[in-house]
A and B are shown apart, each in its own frame.
Chain A
Amino acid sequence: MEAKEKYVLRLADNALILGQRLGEWCGHGPILEQDIALTNVALDLIGQSRMLYQYAAELKNDGSTEDDIAMKRDVFDFYNVLMVEQENGDWGKTIVRQFFYDTYNYFLYEALCTSTDQRLGEIARKSFKEIAYHAQFSAEWVIRFGDGTSESHERVQAAVDDLWEFTGEMFTPDEIDLAMTEAGIAPDLNQIAAQWKRKVTQILDIATLKMPESSFMQKGGKVGEHSEYLGFILAELQFMQRAYPGMQW
């Protein structure tokens, strides 16, 4: 597989798997207004994944469709970061997962808007406004929880501590990331890491939350080495296409 195709799949898989996770909340949110807001984020993410899968299908150029790519690969052929496949947990954990990821996504897509890959640039420009809204939404809720009640503070601090080990993978470049940076297709991840850290530090500070000290970071998602969660996510995502192969819906 060409490096660029794999890179596009990483972006697409991140969007789809996180959108799928958020879709689990639909109808079960803590208040109707927030149910609507989170469903909106899910809609945006799955919409973005479709643009990216369509592009990946073109790069693949073997007649595959967006659904073939999303629905017919097994766990080891998915390249999303481990962060997005983590369990929803309580609403606080979902918000913190979103905050860590949205903030990364914000700086990443801001840079992708000027990608030398014209198509990726177009997709990024279409998606950036949505992503900026997601980042604002999740940061506001982190602040609200951190500075809300003692219960919300404790819950959200626990989520920050719990999810911290999945933040490193987003910024650790491998040969594909390096090749993309080299070609001007994607930004330097070190630069994104610095922007991310500044923003996250600022928001956690306003929220009166502590930045975790632990430095151990999990990795593997980007190269297809996943947690146990992904298999179950795919079991639901792909059920219909697996049970009724080759049909039109």
Chain B
Amino acid sequence: MSKEEMLDMEARFERYVAAENKVEPKDWMPEKYRKTLIRQISQHAHSEVVGMLPEANWITRAPSLRRKVALLAKVQDEAGHGLYLYSAAETMGADRQDLIEDLLSGKAKYSSIFNYPTPTWADIGAIGWLVDGAAIANQVMLCRTSYGPYARAMVRICKEESFHQRQGYEIMMALAAGTPAQKKMAQDALNRWWWPSLMMFGPTDENSPNSALSMKWRIKRKSNDELRQEFIDKTVPQAEFIGLTVPDPDLKWNEERGHYDFGEIDWQEFYDVIAGNGKCNKQRLHARNVAHDNGRWVREAANAYAEKQAKRRKEESSAA
């Protein structure tokens, strides 16, 4: 394809997505669109899988059997989301094994929020309420993303995530309505998760150079700052309702804007955790690598058995 033809194709592609049409796996798409989406979808898949770890940390210690069952089911859902998303990435020609190798080697990123620890039970509530809440804000938007398989995976994921979010909030509600010890636990968790949750939306718009292209291609439909503001506006009243205090002295309702004003985010912390300096970066990646290495013989055995069976079937059918 000549350069002119390529530019023409790109212009047509842009008009196509601007008219709210969905891009499907066999359609022509700019190489950068494909690469951007593979990166985004696989990062999302990795986040689901790594995100299992801080929550699974509490499965054996959940305070009641009812909570234990709910937590197991939740972590299992996250694994399922990982699977849909790896499949969505595969529709663009990526290979799941390669994507996983990139995660294990540290080359691929996942959501930095999962590099924070879950030392207390209230962290399970806070993750559901805040982390899943922030994820939903982003994912509701992605239900209308221009790439069809990704949008469809998101519709399914969003349904489950909003259930998780309610479940997390309900854990916090029970703690906040409990004894002083329980309330302290809840407040402590909110104090630790609030700012990292706001960071989940990514850098401010002026520091997010790739966003414009993603918006043009209708991959993203709202800016980082817009989504962050939506999340804050929705979440602050929820905290107030259960009697917890959002750890931001500058937080104030702005009548004129119709939004909450909020304090300065510590972007240094954000970049430090991305750079690998969060409390649990090493631990998370180590856990994924150990699981992968310890599982090697299992995967090899399953493949060897499947091959033997296929060979046997072939021999049987040729003998018949």
A residues touching B (Cβ–Cβ < 8 Å)?
16, 20, 23-24, 26-36, 39-40, 42-43, 46-47, 49-50, 53, 66-67, 70-71, 90-92, 143-145, 147-149, 151-152, 155, 233, 236-237, 239-241, 244, 247-249
**Does B52 sit within 8 A of A, measured CB to CB?**
yes
Nearest A-chain residue to B125, judged by Cβ = A249
CB pair B83–A32 under 8 Å, yes or no, is: yes
Interface class of chain B by DSSP: helix
B-side contacts of A237, CB under 8 Å? 60-61
Contact, CB under 8 Å: A32 / B49: yes
Check if A27 sits within 8 Å of B72, measured CB to CB: no
Q: Find out whether the CB atom of B72 lies under 8 angstroms from the CB atom of A46.
A: yes
Asked if B305 and A32 make an inter-chain contact with CB atoms under 8 angstroms apart, the answer reads no
| A-B pairs with lowest CB-CB distance, top 3 | A30-B295, A148-B301, A152-B301
Structural contact, A149 and B304, CB atoms closer than 8 A: yes
Partner of A147, one of B171, B300, B308: B308
Closest Cβ of chain B: how far from A73's Cβ, in Å? 14
B291 and A29 contact, CB distance less than 8 A: yes
A39/B300 in contact, CB under 8 A: no
- How many residues in B have their beta carbons less than 8 Å from beta carbons of A? 48
Given A148-B300, A151-B300 in contact, is the A28-B76 Cβ separation under 8 Å? no
> Which of B62-70, B137-145, B213-221, B245-253 lines the interface with chain A?
B62-70
The residues of B that contact A148 with a CB separation of less than 8 Å are: 300-302, 304-305
Q: Which of these binds chain A: B177-185, B222-230, B260-268?
A: B177-185
The answer on a CB contact under 8 Å between B76 and A149 is: no
Q: Looking at the complex, which one of B67, B79, B179, B299 makes contact with A36 (CB distance below 8 Å)? A: B79
Encoded as 1 (CB less than 8 Å from any A CB) or 0, chain B from 226 to 249 comes to 000000000000000000000000
Q: Are A144 and B69 also in contact (CB < 8 A) when A26-B52, A30-B298, A91-B295 are?
A: no
Assembled-state Cα–Cα distance A237/B65 (Å): 9
With the chains together, A34 CA to B290 CA distance in Å? 16
When C-beta atoms are compared, the residue in chain A nearest to B293 turns out to be: A30
Chain A residues contacting B65 (CB-CB under 8 Å) are 16, 46, 49-50, 53, 66-67, 70
Q: Are B174 and A249 in contact (CB under 8 A)?
A: yes
Can you list 26 A-B contacts with CB-CB less than 8 angstroms, sorted by A residue number?
Answer: A23-B60, A26-B52, A27-B55, A27-B79, A28-B291, A30-B295, A32-B86, A35-B79, A36-B83, A39-B75, A43-B76, A46-B72, A50-B65, A67-B64, A147-B305, A149-B297, A149-B300, A149-B304, A151-B297, A152-B304, A155-B297, A236-B60, A237-B61, A239-B61, A240-B121, A244-B63
B302 adjacent to A249 (CB under 8 Å): no
CB proximity of B101 to chain A, nearest CB, Å:
14
Q: Are B72 and A23 in contact (CB under 8 A)?
A: yes
